[in-house]
Amino acid sequence: MILKNVPRYDMVKKPMRQRWYLRPLTWLLSYPEVNKHHLKVLKTNMEGLKPPYILLCTHHAFIDFKVTTAALFPYPANYVVAIDGFINREGLLRNVGCICKRKFTNDITLVKQIKYALEVNKTVVAIYPEARYSLVGTTAILPNSLGKMVRLFKYPVVVLNMHGDYLQQPVWNLAKRKLPIAADMTQIITQEEILNLSVDEINHRISKAFEYDEYQWQKDNNIHVDFSERAKGLHQVLYQCPHCKVEHEMDSRGDELWCNHCHKVWKMDTLGELHAVEGETEFSHIPDWYEFERSEVRKQIEAGTYHFEDRVIVDALPNAKGYIRLGEGQLTHDMNGFHLFGFFDDQDYSLHKEPLSMYSAHIEYDYLGKGDCIDLSTLEDTFYIYPLTKKNVVTKLHFATEELYKIVHSQKK
């Protein structure tokens, strides 16, 4: 199949206001699930607020969409959704009001679609600006463009900060746990305030409202997770041993996490804390271990030693009809950004993503049973890229993407 001849997803088609006859279906799909987890929504400064407004949501797990639907009741919304969410259900998602987005691209079309939803549909526009599920239950990097968008549209801004969603189904272990969930729904900027706030002030308010730490919330609320495989998969985010500093030799099973190089072992208790079986516990709080890894990647970048290269399998997602296997290619990542090249459709193909073109990256663990992957997008294509010989590397790739962006952006300023 010649990729260049495949129709692309129509990003320009205007978003629909959610069909009235589908609204009960969204409630039917949402309420049994959130009720099972005893959802409690704390609303602050929301009295009298009606659509249209911008709803910015934290992003932890698939249940987030159901929590959002319940929190908004009885109002419908236009939801910004990544293109992979539309696969084989484009018609349904368009009719329930979804707006398609390719992740981590600078897309002026999306801005126009949000504007249309606010001004013409006069609805809530729900956006998940972290653009992926939280890897370790803490806030991901938010784009600075959020403040500019809010200032441009001049509509109220509400933040839905969810709690427990990550804990009941972390991205590195999708087995569901039956735990309580909650959400704080807060109007952080009124329509009157927008005219008097700078972009920096708007971004500061959004960042403060987006702060969360799921493991701290778990401890504060004394929520015990007695799931026997609670640590299984944790090595995918905690890929570097803090004891011997060797990368990509971690593994996990049951309630244990260990290093195959130095053989140190940690146990995860029911409150989500880690304890070394022998010797010092370097990091009992999982997000602290995660940030240690980030700091190690930054050191490599600053020293000029960071480099990734591997053979990869590449799938393309040009539209909502499904993935197209392009074949084997080569992916490199270094101080100059990402470079994907291969011989697809009987011709050479090359994609270069400079550091400033991506403030973060979307990664998946064992995506659809095909292995770990990172996806890179243009405005017309999304490529799902699976390393073939390097193991457990995508978390480090996402750290490097973020730290390279910060460094280059700071240098430009």
> Do 143 and 284 sit in the same domain of this protein?
no
Question: Considering 153, 186, 220, which residue would you say is the last residue of a domain?
Answer: 220
363 φ/ψ angles, rounded to the nearest 5 degrees: -125, 160
* Helix (DSSP H) and strand (DSSP E) numbers for the chain: 11, 18
Residue with tokens 């390097």: 390
> Do 265 and 337 sit in the same domain of this protein?
no
- Global pTM value: 0.95
Sign of CA dihedral 16, 19, 24, 26: negative
> Do 140 and 247 sit in the same domain of this protein?
no
> Do 29 and 131 sit in the same domain of this protein?
yes
What's the domain range around 114? Answer: 9-220
Q: What pLDDT is recorded for position 4?
A: 78
Residue with tokens 């996806």: 375
> Do 206 and 258 sit in the same domain of this protein?
no
- At what angle are helices 23-36 and 63-72 packed, to 10 degrees? 110
Which residues fall within 8 angstroms of residue 295, CB to CB, at 6 or more apart? none
> Do 364 and 400 sit in the same domain of this protein?
yes
Report the number of distinct structural domains present in the chain: 3
Rounded to whole angstroms, the Cα distance separating 358 from 377 reads: 10
Q: Which run of H or E residues covers position 146? A: helix 145-153
The DSSP string of 300-322 is HHHHT---EEEEEEEEE-SSTT-
Asked whether residue 332 is domain-assigned, the answer is yes
Rounded to whole angstroms, the Cα distance separating 98 from 118 reads: 13
> Do 131 and 22 sit in the same domain of this protein?
yes
Asked whether residue 1 is domain-assigned, the answer is no
> Do 137 and 91 sit in the same domain of this protein?
yes
> Do 245 and 384 sit in the same domain of this protein?
no
Q: What pLDDT is recorded for position 346?
A: 81
Question: Considering 244, 274, 303, which residue would you say is the last residue of a domain?
Answer: 303
Q: Any bridge partners for residue 113, and if so which?
A: none
Asked whether residue 226 is domain-assigned, the answer is no
Q: What pLDDT is recorded for position 1?
A: 52
Per-residue pLDDT of the chain (413 residues; tens, 9 = 90+): 568 789 999 999 999 999 999 999 899 999 999 999 999 999 999 999 999 999 999 999 999 999 999 999 999 999 999 999 999 999 999 999 999 999 999 889 999 999 999 999 999 999 999 999 999 999 999 998 999 999 999 999 999 999 999 999 999 999 999 999 999 999 999 999 998 999 999 999 999 999 999 999 999 999 999 999 999 999 999 999 999 999 999 999 999 999 999 999 999 999 999 999 999 999 999 999 999 999 999 999 999 999 999 999 999 999 999 999 999 999 999 999 999 999 987 888 999 999 999 999 999 999 999 999 999 999 999 999 999 999 999 999 999 999 999 999 988 86
> Do 180 and 71 sit in the same domain of this protein?
yes
Q: What pLDDT is recorded for position 138?
A: 98
Rounded to whole angstroms, the Cα distance separating 369 from 387 reads: 14
Rounded to the nearest 10°, the torsion over CA 293, 395, 104, 313 is 150
Geometric angle at alpha carbon 176, from 174 and 182, rounded to 5°: 110
Q: Which long-range contacts (CB under 8 A, 24 or more apart) does 148-151 make?
A: 148/199, 149/111, 149/114, 150/54, 150/189, 150/194, 150/202, 150/206, 151/194, 151/197, 151/199, 151/202
> Do 312 and 299 sit in the same domain of this protein?
no
Q: What pLDDT is recorded for position 3?
A: 80
From start to end of 13-76, where are the E strands? Answer: 40-44, 53-57
> Do 158 and 205 sit in the same domain of this protein?
yes
Q: What pLDDT is recorded for position 241?
A: 98
Asked whether residue 380 is domain-assigned, the answer is yes
Amino acid identity for residue 402 in this structure: E
Rounded to the nearest 10°, the torsion over CA 281, 60, 40, 66 is -160
Asked whether residue 189 is domain-assigned, the answer is yes
For residue 57, the domain's CATH number is 3.40.1130.10
CA distances from residue 192 to 157, 174, 188, 360, 389 in whole angstroms, order as listed: 11, 42, 12, 32, 55
Q: What pLDDT is recorded for position 345?
A: 79
**C-beta of residue 241 within 8 angstroms of C-beta of residue 226:** no
Question: Considering 285, 303, 321, which residue would you say is the last residue of a domain?
Answer: 303
